Structure 1
């Protein structure tokens, strides 16, 4: 049996990975959309957390990460609730880390610890997830998680080509347990790609609109006990079916908003939303030194400043009748 991925190709893996992939906790990610509410307003925005989790595991493998770090990559998203980061809007959580807060509970109440023990791994070796340097790094650094979702989304939505993706991956290396880029041209390319992800996808008005409406829907449904927190630990389809079948007048009205047309208007607006500010400044090998991209590239510095201004401004959306 082999695992095949659209970004990294085909791999034969150790048995522990196949057993982990078969667990309910990992299989559930097939029904959690990476983009949260995105697919409700644009069905083509349909990358799942399952695809992403497989990809992160494989990228860590390609970069020379240990089996334990690959396991961490595979399971790092198992605690995402239905519609991913929409819950952070509902909880008014600007750090977007609700899934991190509940990770130990989800992990220890899943089949995963038993699978790990069966293969000679202590569950405590894998946690905390953020101990793994290739898998997770704070912004503005590169990490497997950040690289995978950027390349996966942009390739899926035809914003980059397979050749560009392959070329970039060939320029990645690891120094002192940190992912860096071998040359400045590749670093500039990835900075541009990352900000396409942030500005053209995360901050796309339709995407922002979907998040705002769905978070209102879920908040209303939780308040009226139409939904429960335990429902949100299931999957997108389960939660959407509950919301779709509700006859509550407010729920119905908000649900109907998702099909309405929108325009950007900073004066007359129904929603003003600011998302988490995401700034990348990759480490690059420059003249035999490891440097921040923005220190040696005016292009990366300019992209960084533009993204910061765009994110700080937020998105003003007016719903047309």
Structure 2
């Protein structure tokens, strides 16, 4: 995401000249910190190419809302919606056993109140009270609907990691429509493409053996580090590298060895239901977007057997999860 004279260019959505309030918020410390918070948690430690940041995603959500006609208030809220994410993103939810993966939501108000954000908003005539995600239908919708947050992380990850092409993204964006507070797709073909892409993200990528292993390993390390007072809960307000540096400085043998294995890629992970070290289920994330079909809106699954089957397969995989055997190097 590049900025020149209030103009921000994004790989997916193009270049936009932004209002001063948005520019000042983007350049503020809380948003800049997100450059060091990876979207995928610990996975970048085992695959450096899995490195999309919360900063890229947050600006992307803002720009997608703008593209779809959302108000300045909704763009501000989209930009700031992830500002309370801690180091390694959702890893804190595993460490604290938050099944709803909502720790960043629990601390959102406190994060905003203790930052420069209210002063910036007030400078331009806005109140922090505008920052209620549920007030904006483009930004946030419950599953199985589309929303800017869900759309951006799916398209951004899958494009960055080479699963989908730029041309495919642009063709899909052309099919997105907002009308009468409804966000929908104009053709069943594009709806099918997005559903397929979404499950490549939330099933194939989220449950990729290396992704699951890295999160499980770092979760164990961080739980121990908290228990032994090597790190504190407040340390999670740093970025990934800051928290990682504290772990690297530890003299605890389990922590030192675990970090070494993660960083040196000295393990092999394979799926094995009969002999496994890790079993991870995915949070249930089923998508069934609204689609225009024969002049009216329908759930995509009601007009597409392919989407019905994609949803059945995703449900089965999410409920079953993955069983992983970890093989550590003898070296």
- 2:239 aligned with 1:232, yes or no? no
Superposition pairs of residues 158-173 of structure 1, within 5 angstroms: 158-173=162-177
Q: Which of 244, 247, 271 is the aligned partner of 2:278?
A: 271
Which residue does the alignment assign to 1:319? Answer: 326
Aligned counterparts of 1:271 and 1:106: Cα–Cα separation in 2: 34
Which residue does the alignment assign to 1:42? Answer: 47
TM-score, with structure 2 as normaliser = 0.95
Which residue does the alignment assign to 1:69? Answer: 74
Q: Secondary structure at the match of 1:87?
A: helix
Whether the aligned pair in 1 keeps the contact of 2:203 and 2:282 (CA below 8 Å) is no
Report the Cα offset of residue 267 of structure 1: 1.7
Which residue does the alignment assign to 1:148? Answer: 152
Q: Secondary structure at the match of 2:50?
A: coil
Aligned counterparts of 2:187 and 2:269: Cα–Cα separation in 1: 42
Aligned counterparts of 2:201 and 2:180: Cα–Cα separation in 1: 28
Whether the aligned pair in 1 keeps the contact of 2:159 and 2:166 (CA below 8 Å) is yes
Aligned counterparts of 2:156 and 2:136: Cα–Cα separation in 1: 21
Aligned counterparts of 1:128 and 1:154: Cα–Cα separation in 2: 28
Unaligned 5+ runs, structure 2:
none
Aligned counterparts of 1:320 and 1:262: Cα–Cα separation in 2: 6
- 2:292 aligned with 1:285, yes or no? yes
- 2:94 aligned with 1:89, yes or no? yes
Whether the aligned pair in 2 keeps the contact of 1:213 and 1:257 (CA below 8 Å) is no
CA offsets 1:19-50 (integer angstroms, 9 cap, x no match):
10111000000000011111011000000000
Which residue does the alignment assign to 2:9? Answer: 4
Aligned counterparts of 2:96 and 2:136: Cα–Cα separation in 1: 27
Aligned counterparts of 2:177 and 2:54: Cα–Cα separation in 1: 25
Aligned counterparts of 1:130 and 1:286: Cα–Cα separation in 2: 28
Aligned pairs, number: 320
Q: Which of 111, 127, 130 is the aligned partner of 2:131?
A: 127
Runs (4+) of structure 1 exceeding 6 A deviation are none
Aligned counterparts of 2:99 and 2:135: Cα–Cα separation in 1: 22
Q: Secondary structure at the match of 2:213?
A: helix
Whether the aligned pair in 2 keeps the contact of 1:78 and 1:103 (CA below 8 Å) is yes
Unaligned 5+ runs, structure 1:
none
CA offsets 1:152-177 (integer angstroms, 9 cap, x no match):
00110010000000000000001332
